[in-house]
Structure 1
Amino acid sequence: MVSMTGIYEGSLRTSVKHLKSGNTIVTDAPPDNNGRGEAFSPTDLTCASLNSCMMTLMGILANREGIDLTGLTSDITKIMASDPRKIAEVKIVFTHPSLVATDVQKEKLKRAAMTCPVALSLSDTVVQTITFNF
């Protein structure tokens, strides 16, 4: 069953529509790869997907444990390799300065993040450097 549709719009721009919600994501090639850089690049979306997946898995665990994860923030850095051109490393720093959770719960949150489907789907050659500030 098809759940998304995509179209190449020209000038290195694409759009993908999520059929159930109707939401659309636009991508643009980055300036260092012949694009305009006016939207997320496909590799940006990979890093954003990793971040969102980790946050979602932590949110599921937080709900189960009665932890209020509202306000969790992240900073995402993508490092590209040039030959071949690919994501070499994704750095994500998660921060929640006022998280109310036990040390055991914090460890569970970290484990949940590291076992998200996107993290497990990325090649072993993509370094995932994840920092938790809580």
Structure 2
Amino acid sequence: MTNTTKHRRGTMAVQMKGRTTGPTTIELEHESGYKIAVNAPKDNGGDGSSFSPTDLCAVSLGACGSLIMRMYADGKGIALRGISFELKKEMVANPRRIERITVVFRIDSDCTDLELKKIEAAGRACPVRITLGSCVEVVESYERA
């Protein structure tokens, strides 16, 4: 049974859950049953053996942007061989939070420069980017692979 529900105005809700599995680890579970382990970072008492919660937040920007760009290109019939990204998360203290995310997207395609600009625009409009809003500085660049 799925817990995905449709709300008014076309919004969607997805059920997820988590449980501690050790002093600095959490197991997260998506409604599909897929599970991932999350660990506190080394500088905050964890062993750094997996993504930290703020790592997941940051890398979600790269994942979301890549998926949105890929889906846009596919929908417009623009051939892409692939999209990859590298990302850097920078934290600050007082309060401890993500200050800046720097991401470089590499788009492997023979598309025109205009098509590439449209793909980039789609990526900049990804839901994670919009959710981060002005709370986190996002530095993005786009390159041909």
TM superposition score normalised by structure 2: 0.85
Matched residues in 1 for 2:81 and 2:37: separation?
A: 27
Unmatched 5+ stretches in structure 1: none
Q: Secondary structure at the match of 1:67?
A: coil
Letter in 2 for 1:4: M
Aligned residues: CA RMSD: 1.4
Matched residues in 1 for 2:132 and 2:69: separation?
A: 19
Letter in 1 for 2:47: R
Q: Does 1:79 align with 2:90?
A: yes
Letter in 1 for 2:91: M
Matched residues in 1 for 2:67 and 2:54: separation?
A: 20
Alignment map for 1:22-41 (pairs within 5 Å): 22-41=33-52
Unmatched 5+ stretches in structure 2: 4-13
> More displaced, 5-14 or 24-33?
5-14
Q: Does 1:11 align with 2:23?
A: yes
Q: Secondary structure at the match of 1:72?
A: strand
How much identity, in percent, do the aligned residues show?
33
Matched residues in 1 for 2:138 and 2:63: separation?
A: 14
Q: Secondary structure at the match of 2:75?
A: helix
Alignment map for 1:63-102 (pairs within 5 Å): 63-96=74-107, 98-102=108-112
Alignment map for 1:103-114 (pairs within 5 Å): 103-114=113-124
Q: Secondary structure at the match of 1:73?
A: strand
> More displaced, 39-48 or 61-70?
61-70
Shift of 1:123: 4.1
Shift of 1:124: 0.7
Aligned twin of 1:128: 138
How many pairs does the alignment contain?
132
8 Å contact kept, 2:70–2:83: no
8 Å contact kept, 2:66–2:84: no
Matched residues in 2 for 1:94 and 1:123: separation?
A: 19
Superposed CA offset, 1:58-116 (max 9, x none): 011110222232332111100111221100001110113x4211111111111111111
